[in-house]
Structure 1
Amino acid sequence: VLVSHEHGDHAKSVMQLIDNGVAVYMSEGTKAALGDAAKYAEVVRPDKIKNIGKWRIQPFRTQHDAAEPLGFVIEDGEDRLLFATDTFFLPYKFLNLTQIMVECNYALDILDKNLLSGRVTQSQAKRLLTSHFSLHNLKSYLRDQDLSRVKVIYLMHISSVNGDQERFKKEIQSVTGKPVKICEA
């Protein structure tokens, strides 16, 4: 199991996985933040390739309010998957991707509406803007990528308050021309 960062919605079962004999990999910062829960986890380093069985893992830094968050490019010789969640920006271009699994957390117009109505506080909105991928930023990112080999794009970590699954799916399909699937929580 690859752990992106220490927040509970991403790492709460680390100890149980390890106790059940599952190999768990994470950054040094994530391991330190999780403490004893992750003492038997293996550390992977950003931008250093790690071979795990038939998988080739390329960890990379993401932009989130966590100790040392990571995204991953995962290859098995046939497919090359980009996995990125809980980041508001990706400065990288990855070549020869066949699948993309990426966060699309919120749309700014929905967030603004929720802010005005009081459903979302100023501090919540500020955190979202600097820790999660917006629909606008994801569309911009995908426009700048070579998607010629991509078979499917998976959208994940869509906010139930500030997101719209069907809208996000349609807009990403329109921008990319690729099939888009929604990952349910």
Structure 2
Amino acid sequence: MASGSNGNCIALTAEGRTVLIDAGVAKTKIEKRLLEVGIRPGEVAAIFITHEHGDHIKGLPLANKYRIPVYATHGEWKGISGVDEGLRHECETTYGLYDLILLGEFEIRPFRVQHDAYEPVGYSITDGETRVSICLDTGKVDEEMLVSMAGSDIYIIEANHDPAMVEAGGYPDVVKARILSDIGHLSNEQTASALYRLIRGTGERIYLTHLSSKNNMPTLAEMTVKQVLKRKGFEAGKNYEIEVI
């Protein structure tokens, strides 16, 4: 429903139950966009937050209005305010791994990502038939993340920037260094490399998200992924589907 530096929000629905991953645009915009696809805001079963940056939590007043439970890691709750106490739920860990969260048809497993936030996560979600992995802001994809996402039918993943465009752009050097760092954002090539490891050619769907409006182009992001997957013998429309959001 929203993707990019101005706000991020993803709705997943199975068997009539909807969960949101992030709520990074205004509450009224989330309400409007849910209604446009036939979902009443009061039917949202839970909101899962990846991290506490404003473009991922701006619309959290939605939770209080409709009494929607909100899940985030212990660290990320340090940066999130304004959610009623009874709606706050923590993603818990056992022996260093996040516990499975059961919510009706959904099984949700958080996994660690690499970003400059307190305790950021992605989510691997299944309804027993389809598995979706959501990996938004992260500076790199490590082995633990690959294991957590492996075997998914749908990959919603950041393809934030082209490094050459970042270097040539007008951002201050400190901002450029942050974007390009291991706790910044994924480049097109990093995303393509991760997908090379993940895609099996069984008709998976790839959604490239969180593109920078100044340091990337949709065609460039898509072309980079297609070229890398072609080395594996996979073609878009035949072995997998790809869409840039």
- Alignment TM-score, normalising by the size of structure 1: 0.89
Structure number with the bigger relative contact order (C-alpha 8 A, sep ≥ 6) is 1
2:73 to 17, 27, 41: 27
1:11 to 46, 54, 57: 57
Q: CA deviation at 1:136?
A: 1.6
Larger proportion of strand: 2
**Structure 2 residues not aligned, in runs of 5+:** 1-46, 230-234
Specify the alignment match of 1:141 in structure 2: 194
What residue identity is the alignment partner of 1:57?
I
Q: CA deviation at 1:165?
A: 0.9
Q: CA deviation at 1:42?
A: 1.1
Specify the alignment match of 1:113 in structure 2: 168
Specify the alignment match of 2:155 in structure 1: 100
Q: CA deviation at 1:95?
A: 2.8
CA 14–112 in structure 1, closer or farther in 2 if over 3 Å, else same: same
Q: Say whether 1:179 aligns with 2:245.
A: no
Q: CA deviation at 1:150?
A: 4.8
Q: CA deviation at 1:168?
A: 0.6
Q: CA deviation at 1:38?
A: 6.0
Contact preservation (8 Å) 1:31, 1:38: no
Name which of structure 1's ranges 128-137 and 40-49 shifts more when overlaid on structure 2.
Answer: 40-49
**Structure 1 residues not aligned, in runs of 5+:** none
Q: CA deviation at 1:35?
A: 3.1
Contact preservation (8 Å) 1:18, 1:24: no
1:77 to 128, 136, 150: 128
Q: CA deviation at 1:77?
A: 1.1
Question: Which SS does the other structure have where 1:179 is aligned?
Answer: strand
Instruction: Write out aligned runs for 1:45-64 (5 A).
Output: 45=92, 47-64=98-115
Question: Which SS does the other structure have where 1:147 is aligned?
Answer: coil
Specify the alignment match of 1:2 in structure 2: 48
Question: Which SS does the other structure have where 1:154 is aligned?
Answer: strand
- Partner Cα separation in structure 1 for residue 80 and residue 150 of structure 2: 33
What residue identity is the alignment partner of 1:154?
Y
Specify the alignment match of 2:210 in structure 1: 157
Name which of structure 1's ranges 18-27 and 70-79 shifts more when overlaid on structure 2.
Answer: 18-27
- Partner Cα separation in structure 2 for residue 28 and residue 12 of structure 1: 19
Q: How many residue pairs align between the two structures?
A: 179
Residue identity over aligned pairs, in percent, reads 25
What residue identity is the alignment partner of 1:35?
S
- Residue by residue over 1:22-51, the C-alpha shift from the partner in whole angstroms, topping out at 9 and shown as x without a partner, is 222111111121134363321113521111
- Partner Cα separation in structure 2 for residue 106 and residue 180 of structure 1: 17
1:43 to 90, 96, 111: 90
Specify the alignment match of 1:65 in structure 2: 116
